[in-house]
Amino acid sequence: MELSILLRVFIHRYKVGHDAEIQCARAWKVNINNLPLVDWENLRKEYRSKKGFKRFRITKAIYRQWATMSREKSWNRSSSAFCPLCKTHHETITHVFQCNHNLMKLNRMKAIANFKSSLIKYKTSPILVNHLHRIVQQHCGGFNVSDLDPNSVLASNEHLKLISYVLQEQKNKIGIENMMFGILSKKFCDCQRMYFKTNNFGRNYTIERWGR
């Protein structure tokens, strides 16, 4: 029941005070007051643009229903909660991002490289590319995600200040793991809009396309 409520919110619209807020906040471990910061518009477009198995996969990710061993064990569908690859850690969602088995490391490297090249392909602000890349690497390496150096931000331009602000909002109010599932602050689009305004790449590079 709770999942179907959540799903309807994605398909239609997110509204403050909706019943689904509680379910979202619980599934994503986000303070309910911070949910309006999420870029619902683009999340919904992404969901709608996928069909069949791809849509099913997004749904599973949004609801945190990956069939990890920890989850299977808690549902009595497996006798072990350990990761089948490294066999040293319980396989939680966080562990899937951070497992040190060679096969996982290799796949992760490929995924991070693809992520970076798609950001570049859509003419993402180079400062934003570098920081998103750094954050993903830090998170997947099991490190705490660091903030931008406040001195470099103070001395620098408006674009960098906005990027610093959005990264802090993502980290402190929406969450880095949620970011890995595409649950992002609306302000990422503001950063990129600012970059497009000062760099004209032609009509193929619009904020609407970039957001997706």
Q: Select the residue interacting with Zn ion from 24, 69, 99, 136 (CB under 5 A).
A: 99
User: How many residues bind Zn ion, per CB under 5 A?
Assistant: 4
Cβ atoms of 52 and 63 within 8 Å: the answer is no
Closest CA relative to residue 128, chosen from 42, 187, 79, 59: 187
DSSP annotation of 90 reads: B
- As given in the structure block, the two tokens for residue 8 are 């309807």
The angle subtended at Cα 103 by Cα 101 and Cα 106, nearest 5°, is 110
CB of 92 to Zn ion, least distance (A): 10
Stretch that binds Zn ion, among 95-103, 129-137, 174-182, 189-197 (CB under 5 A): 95-103
Stretch that binds Zn ion, among 18-26, 28-36, 39-47, 76-84 (CB under 5 A): 76-84
CB of 179 to Zn ion, least distance (A): 21
The answer to whether residue 83 forms part of the interface with Zn ion (CB under 5 A) is yes
The answer to whether residue 86 forms part of the interface with Zn ion (CB under 5 A) is yes
What whole-number distance in Å separates Cα of residue 2 and Cα of residue 23?
7
Nearer to Zn ion, 38 or 104 (CB): 104
3-state secondary structure of 85: coil
Question: Can you give the three-state secondary structure of 120-189, one letter per residue?
Answer: HHCCCCHHHHHHHHHHHHHHHCCCCCCCCCHHHHHHCCHHHHHHHHHHHHHHHHHCHHHHHCCCCECHHH
Stretch that binds Zn ion, among 37-45, 61-69, 82-90, 179-187 (CB under 5 A): 82-90
CB of 68 to Zn ion, least distance (A): 10
CB of 96 to Zn ion, least distance (A): 8
Stretch that binds Zn ion, among 11-19, 25-33, 47-55, 86-94 (CB under 5 A): 86-94
CB of 95 to Zn ion, least distance (A): 6
The neighbouring-strand residues paired with 82 are 90
The answer to whether residue 140 forms part of the interface with Zn ion (CB under 5 A) is no
What whole-number distance in Å separates Cα of residue 24 and Cα of residue 30?
8
Kind and range of the H or E element at 25? helix 20-28
CB of 142 to Zn ion, least distance (A): 12
Stretch that binds Zn ion, among 6-14, 83-91, 186-194, 196-204 (CB under 5 A): 83-91
Question: Residues in the site for Zn ion, rule: CB under 5 A?
Answer: 83, 85-86, 99
